[in-house]
Structure 1
Amino acid sequence: MKRNRWILAGLLVLLAAALYENYDKEIKSWFGSGESSATEAESGKSVSALVAENAPKPGTPAPEFSLAGLDGKTYEVGGKRDKPLLLNFWASWCDPCKEEAPDLVKLADKYGSQLDVYAVNVTFYDKLDNAKEFVENYGYTFPVLLDEKEKLYRMYNGIAFPTNVLIDENGKVQDVIVGTLSKEELEAKIKKLLNV
């Protein structure tokens, strides 16, 4: 468990650094070389604030995409939808994703007639066989999409697993949840999205 936390922490540092052109200066500023990064100095904002600034915000259109699922079908997001969507980014090695998985299954079963759930395995950071085993072990019945090149995760400015994005029928982001919530907290956000 501690090993996974260190791996996740390392991935977060690398992802944040990769988002900026001035990679070397960012790393030095994080680890206390005394120099501040050009990006931070120019904007007066921290790295985490800059990352958050580029993330999809409530009320903005959800980034459009088309992605293949484990079932061989292609799933698309962009513009108006028949139902609101819970977009869940995960990896099979992620302990919080394992904790959240049973709740996602229950919520998808409960609200499936009113809500689409797409589980996006960021396969770039995972192994396909492990992802398939995870889906089978947790009984996912909703579409599981494969982000093999991390393109979608980057579009949504993902920084940690799990990340859940709630998108309304008009294709607008209503909430971005980084990390886990209790089943009750997540259900409250879903109810708000569905107006129930």
Structure 2
Amino acid sequence: MLLLLTYAVYDNQGNGWLSFLGNGKSQEAKEAGAAGKNQAIDAMVAANVPKPGTKAPEFALVGLDGKTYQVGGKRDKPLLLNFWASWCDPCKEEAPDLVKLAEKYSDTLDVFAVNVTFYDKLDDAKAFVKDYGYTFPVLLDEKEKVYRKYNGVAFPTNVLIDPDGKIRDVVVGTLPPEELEAKIRKLVEK
């Protein structure tokens, strides 16, 4: 009885040390169950990110330059808000593209890189900024308050905000540079 209880607690997926006993599920059923779990996670992520057309959550954060930057309400230009961490490999892949896009659209787009310092180390964030040549403001979310306001779930997350302060698009993870630029073009041409 104890053996069966241990098995039930340890391995309800049929993948552990007693999996040879089977759990009555075919491999197809297991894969379908895993796919269903992944879809549920994807749905949860989608439900939690800010919705296009809604007002961008307001905040003020201090940047690496010591200045305070505010988001919320009307703006002179659209804004690309990039949430990142220095240890994040997709953030490293995306960084050179962000630098190029920020330079290319500097007259028509603001870019704020929000380092979620709560999950990072300040020295590592500073090194990342130097290594990748960020010239746009880098804000420090030291207590994760802003990331939570935006229901952050993954790094990087890019939020595109129009001059009226409304969210126009949210990109969780990375996109090929040409796809991100197409979204930016659409935003700045409005």
Common fold, TM-score beyond 0.5? yes
C-alpha distance in 2, partners of 1:109/1:51?
31
Structure-2-length-normalised TM-score = 0.78
Structure 1 residue aligned with 2:189: 195
Q: Secondary structure at the match of 1:53?
A: helix
User: What value does the CA root-mean-square deviation take over the aligned residues?
Assistant: 1.8
Gaps of 5+ in 1: 1-27, 33-44
Letter of the 1:151 counterpart? K
Structure 1 residue aligned with 2:157: 163
| Residue 52 of structure 2 corresponds to residue 58 of structure 1 | yes
Structure 1 residue aligned with 2:16: none
Q: CA deviation at 1:54?
A: 3.3
Structure 2 residue aligned with 1:83: 77
Letter of the 2:136 counterpart? F
Structure 1 residues 177 and 72: alpha-carbon distance in aligned structure 2, compared to 1, 3 A threshold: same
Structure 1 residue aligned with 2:35: none
Which deviations, in whole Å up to 9, do the C-alpha atoms of 1:166-188 show, x marking residues without a partner?
A: 00000000000001111101000
| Residue 128 of structure 2 corresponds to residue 134 of structure 1 | yes
C-alpha distance in 2, partners of 1:178/1:46?
16
- Identity across matched positions, percent: 76
Structure 2 residue aligned with 1:108: 102
C-alpha distance in 2, partners of 1:155/1:120?
13
Letter of the 2:64 counterpart? L
Structure-1-length-normalised TM-score = 0.75
Q: CA deviation at 1:47?
A: 5.5
Which deviations, in whole Å up to 9, do the C-alpha atoms of 1:101-156 show, x marking residues without a partner?
A: 00000000000110000000000000000000000000000000000001111110
Structure 2 residue aligned with 1:98: 92
Structure 2 residue aligned with 1:118: 112
| Residue 185 of structure 2 corresponds to residue 180 of structure 1 | no
Q: Secondary structure at the match of 2:160?
A: strand
Q: CA deviation at 1:52?
A: 2.7
How many residue pairs get aligned? The number is: 155
C-alpha distance in 2, partners of 1:98/1:51?
22
Gaps of 5+ in 2: 1-8, 14-38
* Bigger Rg, which one: 2
